[in-house]
């Protein structure tokens, strides 16, 4: 990881799993557009953004905790981290309900990887709280999720290093819910993300 590269925001990993092009448009090209879903998310995070630290029933709860990972070049803020003794337990607030894709889980797992590096303690699981269901979904940080999270961070590092925005996701149903649809114009692209990623990987290998 180049030392001069700016840290990757934790939120960018969620965007990248959903659509790598969306992540690049937001975090590389600095484009953004609001819709109902983003507005609802802003309201949900308003309480956590106030920060704070309190203890209840032996569990210390820290709101809006800054996180970072030097190894993965990540930086961001956890909505809530509960400390059960010395063991951190990250909690991320989300609008809606659990998704079919793993974007939310990857963002949460990235927080866990940061916490492990920062505290030296294992973080075996965390939780996603969904506003629509008003329930927590416990997420185990198993080897598959950890591998997906690190691979996503690697993909993002390649995008930021190349300064090239990839083509849209092949999952067209995701485009309909995306606030950037008008800015992205996915219908004008034919080259799939996998071809773009393979080309970028081949270029990186040639440069070694």
Dist CA 184 CA 174 (whole Å): 12
SS3 25: helix
- pLDDT value of residue 1: 47
pLDDT digit string (tens) for 8-67?
Answer: 999 999 999 988 888 888 888 877 655 444 444 444 445 554 556 766 678 999 999 999
> Across all residues in the chain, what is the average pLDDT?
82
With 0-12 / 13-18 / 19 or more C-beta atoms within 10 angstroms meaning exposed / middle / buried, residue 167 is: buried
8-207: CATH number: 3.90.320.10
The residue that leads in pLDDT, 123 or 40, is 123
- pLDDT value of residue 41: 46
Most confident of 43-57, 94-108, 113-127: 113-127
Dist CA 2 CA 11 (whole Å): 20
- pLDDT value of residue 124: 98
- pLDDT value of residue 20: 87
Delimit the domains of the chain by residue range. Answer: 8-207
Q: Would the pLDDT of 91 be above 80?
A: yes
pLDDT digit string (tens) for 155-175?
Answer: 999 988 888 888 777 777 777
- pLDDT value of residue 60: 94
Output the pTM of the full model.
0.77
SS3 51: coil
């Amino acid at each position: 990881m180049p030392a001069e590269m700016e840290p990757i925001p934790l939120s960018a990993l969620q965007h990248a799993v959903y659509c790598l092009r969306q992540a690049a448009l937001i975090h590389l090209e600095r484009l953004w557009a609001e819709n109902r879903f983003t507005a609802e998310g802003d309201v949900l995070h308003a309480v956590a953004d106030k920060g704070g630290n309190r203890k209840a029933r032996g569990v210390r709860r820290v709101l809006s905790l800054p996180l970072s990972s030097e190894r993965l070049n990540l930086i961001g803020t956890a909505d809530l981290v509960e400390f059960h003794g010395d063991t951190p337990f990250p909690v991320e607030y989300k609008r809606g309900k659990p998704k079919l894709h793993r974007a939310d889980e990857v963002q949460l797992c990235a927080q866990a990887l940061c916490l492990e590096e920062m505290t030296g303690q294992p973080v075996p699981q965390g939780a996603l709280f969904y506003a629509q269901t008003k329930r927590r979904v416990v997420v185990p940080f198993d080897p598959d999720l950890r591998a997906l999270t690190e691979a996503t961070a690697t993909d993002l590092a390649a995008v930021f290093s190349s300064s090239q925005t990839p083509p849209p996701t092949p999952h067209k149903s995701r485009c309909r819910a995306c606030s950037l649809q008008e800015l992205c114009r996915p219908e004008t692209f034919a080259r799939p993300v996998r071809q773009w990623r393979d080309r970028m990987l081949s270029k990186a290998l040639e440069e070694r």
